[in-house]
Amino acid sequence: MSFTEVKDPSAFRKIAAAMWKNPRDPTIYGTQDVDATRALAFLESYRERHGVKVTITHLVAMGLARTIERHPEVNAKVRFWGRLEQRETIDITLQVATDGGQDLGAALIRRANEKTLQQIAEELTRQARSIREGEDENYARTRGAFRRMPWWLTRPAIATADFLTNELHVNLPKQGLPRDPFGSAMVTNVGMFGIDTAFAPLTPIARCPILVLVPEVRQRPWVDNGNVVSRPVLRLCATFDHRVIDGFQAGLLSRTVSELLHAPEQFEG
């Protein structure tokens, strides 16, 4: 068996290959099925009334932010090889596909729990457009540097960036290294690929204890008052950092997110 070097890998692929070591990080995985009937009806009505395109991903991001607000103990990060610290704000990162899906960018919504659904949607649209059209100078500078960087230098470069932004909390936005760059949690939509169940690994440099995948909403059997009916079901898939979140807290988060998505009218505004 022989191997050849992968030619011209994406910046994200080079970062990923250098960032993760052998699997040993503590993680919890879980799914939560949510009857999306009311959520989908609310989104359709919201689009008509406000003239803004809102999706189930925006709703999940807002629901997650408000869930963390209710359970602030999970809004923490691990620093200095084991020291737990509380974040002061609730910031949610949404992944953005770039280069025809060959690469990934990140749109960070600061203080997401304080924003309306429309504000989250508009901010994500603005950041995603800026990233995809090359107008985000910090993203372009960082990705360009990693594309040109030899593979053997990528891991020490990431380790240095991690140390500066997460351990020392140095703020270098012009160098593409803002302080705590990924916030409290990450949300990724994979429903566009027809996926209905999937999990993603925690990203070491992100220091996010929560990562939620939003799959495709599908018709599934649902028990309603003892009767089996067909309902549009959203199967949320989450990965938790066990150093920050245990099974009890994961259960509380799951229940709160479900309750919020079952009553989407509270996201009005």
pLDDT of residue 212: 97
Q: What is the pLDDT of residues 215-227, one digit of tens each?
A: 999 999 999 999 9
d(CA 198, CA 238): 9
Assign 185 to helix, strand or coil: strand
Categorize the per-residue pLDDT at 4 as very low, low, confident or very high, splitting at 50, 70 and 90.
low
Q: What is the pLDDT of residues 152-170, one digit of tens each?
A: 999 999 899 888 888 888 8
221 contacts 46 by C-beta, under 8 angstroms: no
- Entry pTM: 0.87
d(CA 169, CA 187): 23
Sequence-ordered strand ranges (E) for 103-171: 103-109
From 118, 15, 124, 73, select the one nearest 246 (Cα to Cα): 73
User: Tokens 């100078």 label which residue?
Assistant: 137
Structure tokens at 175: 């160098």
Q: Report the range of poorest mean pLDDT among 49-58, 63-72, 138-147.
A: 138-147
Q: Report the range of poorest mean pLDDT among 55-69, 117-131, 132-146, 159-173.
A: 132-146
Dihedral angle, C-alpha 41, 47, 50, 56, nearest 10 °: 80
64 contacts 185 by C-beta, under 8 angstroms: yes
Assign 119 to helix, strand or coil: helix
Domain boundaries, the chain: 28-231+256-267
Architecture of domain 28-231+256-267: 2-Layer Sandwich (3.30)
Q: What is the pLDDT of residues 177-216, one digit of tens each?
A: 778 889 999 999 999 889 989 999 988 888 899 999 999 9
